[in-house]
Amino acid sequence: MSTKLFLLPRINKLMGQHSARIACLCILVIGCQWVAPLPALAQNITRHMANQLMTRLQKNTADTTRLSTLLELGKFQIYKAGEVKTDLDSAIRYLQQAEELSNALHQVKEKHQSECLLTIAYIERGDFKMTRAIFSKLITDCQQTGDKETEADAHYRFATAQRYITRNYPLAIAQYRQAASIYKELKNPEKEIQMVEQIAGLHADLGELDVAEGEFLTVLHRYKAINYAKLHYVYSWLASVSRLKGNFEKGLFYSFQCLESMNRTQDTLAAASFYGTIAEVYMELGKQEQSIYWFKKTLQQWRLGKLPNYSLYYSASLIVQDLIKHHKTPEALRLIVNLIKEIPPVTNIQRGCIAQTFAYCYDDLRTYKQAEKYYLEAIGWYSQSGNDFEMAQKAPKEVGEFYLNHNDYKKAGFYLRKALAFSPQKNAPSTLKDIHFMLFKVDSTEGNYLSAIRHFRQHKALNDSLFNETKSRQFAELEVRNATAQKEQQIQRQQLELEKGETMRNGILAGAMLLLGLLGISYNQYRLKQQSNKLLEAKQLEINQKNESLQSILNEKDTLLKEKEDLLEEKEWMLKEIHHRVKNNLQIITSLLHSQGVYLKDKAALSAIQESQNRVHVMALIHQNLYQSDRLATIPMAEYIEDIVDYLLVTFARQDSVLKKIAVVPINLDVILAVPLGLILNEVVTNSLKYAFPAGQKGTISIELVKLTNQIYRLTISDNGIGFPPDLNPNRSRTLGMSLIRGLSKQLGGKLQINQDSGVEISLLFTEEKVGLTGLAST
């Protein structure tokens, strides 16, 4: 999905006093022309900030700070660019934790917020049954608790989801109106008007341009009545609607009004989209130089965000076409190649735009087969996205023009008529004008003269309505008025600079007078200091003598410190060498066990040998990590656990049938903790690989290590296999593996729990301070 680029900032601030706590959805919905990826503008959370929140989450206790962190992380995962299932799964997990914590803390509003976001997550995942259940319960709870603000928020979010995901437009409009009604009841006229603005935007997306224009003018009037300053979003909408209706004078007027409002309020969040709007109007007017100037500005703005969105690639596409017209096709090709390397596309719409751009380049380079391939590829990508936007409807026109230029009139006619079949309201009149003229050429060549004449008349009528002497004069007057206004603003800025300069000059004069006074005082102080210096010189001689004796002592101390550093360095080298040799010795033991296993025929004995071999490998990994790193006493648990699981999957040849899911916090643990934890992990995973998935059955093994408080950790190992046999009580089992697990858990001072509800889950809660060297040494 995509949305109009200038719609996004309205969504940004809609539910939170311009704070970007709300957005529509993470997929793209395309309206009239300009589109943007919603995650970039849907929230003020960057990927770097999300990483900081993840780190904070590890430290937060079960309080309101942790609750807000979970809500922000859930929102980030929902509105992240692209449609990745793992992102939605992460969002649902964070929001479910937020819901549980809000219940525990009796935070009703935060509970409703988490459920509101869960509604969006499930509808994006396509689970409409769960969506309806959560949404219905949320609305009922909000009404019972009197949480009107969240109820309105929920209706708004649900409407946006229906608009951009399910495309249930009547339901979307009904939900927007319900939200507006609640805001009116809350006496919040700004948000009530914003709901009307959303409905107007939906009508514009549907091609109901007259209805949309009337609604936007009403919105503009109502905003002015309440002294709402940020009118540039509405002006941007009106500019695009006017352009699609062929009223370029209005389009240019509203574009200038949009930029003036943006500069006046210093709200430049959506500057890229506003530059794109005015660039589109100039392009329709055939003013290539002005159009490319604004397209370059919008590309520069989008590129700063480093996020993939349609407008980024569309702006680049127009600049590429301009370079081709100036016979700089190799430079144009480099631009688009470097752009997709820097910011790869994530949606079908973006891929379609890129394919079109490659087609332009290869067509000009006379590589016609390549050009045709990319043109048809673009149509394919757009078809997968629903073709419900202006650029997708221009694609068949451009393919038809390509075939017409290469005298393939049959294919040209097919694609041009396909372009003409789209809803006329969603095509700019200038596009329709060009399509009719090309069909006039096709029909004339094929002898369909009556049809050719009809197309030529329609082309002429559209051309006359768009461009005439009166309109040209109006455009010129409008540009002059805008240039004059900009000049007046520049003069005002210069006047302010002159006033600042005069103030600065007066300040310098006052400072000079003050400096003269300070110099007089300083001279008097100098004379007094000279007298003091004579008294100090005698003392200095005595101090120098004492310093010389101290210096000799310090030199001796430096020699001792150097010897100490050399001894420490030698000790560190020896420790690394010891770890290296221990690791080598353990590997020799592993090799000996392997050689012994070759001559064994008994399966039980061979299995015991192999398990012993795995246990020795676990301990060898510890020493390998120690001598390969600068840490001589701690182990990075994430890498250690990953190495153990990968080794066991390869050992049992289950890497293709058993999926690993590892979630380990980035922590380093002491060797006395890491060794027993690694042995426990080895026993549990070995047991799962041997018994949980019989006959090559596919499954998943999950490992999670989290830090609950400062010194308390929880290790959880689970599988979704067949579980323990019904007659086996794991807490009383006397097998070597279970005995090792219980013994090692006891020596860790940990609490071991075994759950058999779905597969097998083994959880170990342990504390660093309870682990002693004496206890582990006896293992």
CATH number of the domain at 727, please.
3.30.565.10
pLDDT-derived band of residue 514, with 50, 70 and 90 as boundaries? confident
619 and 663 belong to one structural domain = no
Q: Phi and psi (nearest 5°) for 77?
A: -70, -35
Question: SS in 3 state form for 421-467?
Answer: CCCHHHCCHHHHHHHHHHHHHHHHHHCCHHHHHHHHHHHHHHHHHHC
| Structure confidence at residue 83 as a pLDDT band (50, 70, 90) | low
- Domain of 718 in residue numbering reads as 636-777
579 and 652 in a single domain? The answer is: no
CA dihedral (338, 339, 340, 341) positive or negative: positive
Question: Are 270 and 235 contacting, i.e. CB atoms less than 8 angstroms apart?
Answer: no
Quote the CA–CA distance of 170 and 738 in Å, as a whole number.
61
**What pLDDT is stored for residue 403 in this prediction?**
84
654 and 614 belong to one structural domain? no
Please, is 57 exposed, middle or buried when counting C-beta atoms within 10 Å of its C-beta (0-12, 13-18, 19+)?
A: middle
How far apart are the C-alpha atoms of 63 and 292, rounded to whole Å?
A: 53
pLDDT(211) > 90:
yes
Percent over 90 (pLDDT), the chain: 18
CA separation for the pair 375, 369 (Å, rounded): 10
628 and 692 within one domain: no
H or E stretch including 751? strand 751-755
pLDDT band at 579 (very low <50, low <70, confident <90, very high): low
Position 31 scores a pLDDT of: 35
**Whether 690 and 764 share a structural domain:** yes
Whether residue 422 is contained in a domain is answered as no
Q: What is the dihedral of CA 593, 595, 599, 603, to 10 degrees?
A: 40
Residue after which a domain boundary falls, among 613, 632, 651: 632
Tokens for 50, please give them.
Answer: 């999300």
Q: Binning pLDDT at 50, 70 and 90, where does residue 601 land?
A: low
Measured CA to CA, the distance from residue 408 to residue 404 in angstroms comes to 6
Query: What average pLDDT does the chain have?
Result: 78
pLDDT of residue 378: 85
Q: Among 134-138, 473-477, 537-541, name the one with the lowest average pLDDT.
A: 473-477
Distances (CA, A) of 341 to 316, 336, 471: 14, 9, 43
| Same domain (yes/no): 648, 773 | yes
**Degrees (nearest 5) of the Cα angle 727, 728, 732?**
135
Give a yes or no: residue 125 inside a domain: no
pLDDT of 230-285, one tens digit each? 999 999 999 989 888 878 888 889 988 998 999 998 888 888 888 888 888 888 77
Q: Is 45 domain-assigned? A: no
Report how far Cα 709 is from the mean position of its chain's Cα atoms.
29
Per-residue pLDDT, averaged over 33-53, amounts to 51
Q: Are residues 755 and 725 in the same domain?
A: yes
Residues 660, 575 within the same domain: no
- Rounded Cα distance between 92 and 76, Å, is 11
Count of domains for the chain: 2
665 and 708 part of one domain: yes
Residue 603 lies in a domain: yes
Of 597, 632, 667, at which residue does a domain stop?
632
Top mean pLDDT of 15-19, 353-357, 457-461, 535-539 is at 353-357
User: Measured on CA atoms in the order 423, 426, 430, 434, is the torsion positive or negative?
Assistant: negative
Structure tokens at 410: 């049959």
Q: What count of other Cβ atoms lies within 10 Å of the Cβ of residue 673?
A: 20
Identify whether 235 is part of a domain: no
User: Within this chain, do residues 626 and 669 fall inside the same structural domain, yes or no?
Assistant: no
Domain match, 625 and 646 both: no
Q: How far apart are CA 463 and CA 432, in angstroms?
A: 10
pTM of the model: 0.51
User: What CA dihedral angle connects 85, 86, 87 and 89, to 10 degrees?
Assistant: 90
Angle between helices 637-651 and 671-687 (to 10 degrees): 30
Angle at 580 between CA 575 and CA 583, to 5 degrees: 125
The pLDDT, as a whole number, for residue 452 is 74
**759 and 651 together in one domain:** yes
**pLDDT confidence tier of residue 10, bands split at 50, 70 and 90:** very low
Is the residue at 293 inside a domain? no
Q: Is residue 685 part of a domain?
A: yes
- Work out the end-to-end distance of the chain between its first and last CA atoms, rounded to an integer number of angstroms: 59
* Confidence at 772, pLDDT banded by 50, 70, 90: very low
Per-residue pLDDT band at 15 (split at 50, 70, 90)? very low
Gap between the Cα atoms of 470 and 642, Å rounded: 73
Under the banding of pLDDT at 50, 70 and 90, the label for residue 41 is: very low
Q: Which residues contact 754 (CB under 8 A, 6 or more apart)?
A: 730, 731, 760, 761, 762, 763
395: pLDDT confidence band, cut at 50, 70 and 90? confident
Lowest mean pLDDT among 97-106, 172-181, 257-266, 528-537: 528-537
Lowest mean per-residue pLDDT among 153-157, 239-243, 287-291, 498-502: 498-502
Domain boundary among 632, 663, 690: 632
Q: What is the pLDDT of residue 37?
A: 31
Give domain status of residue 118, yes or no.
no
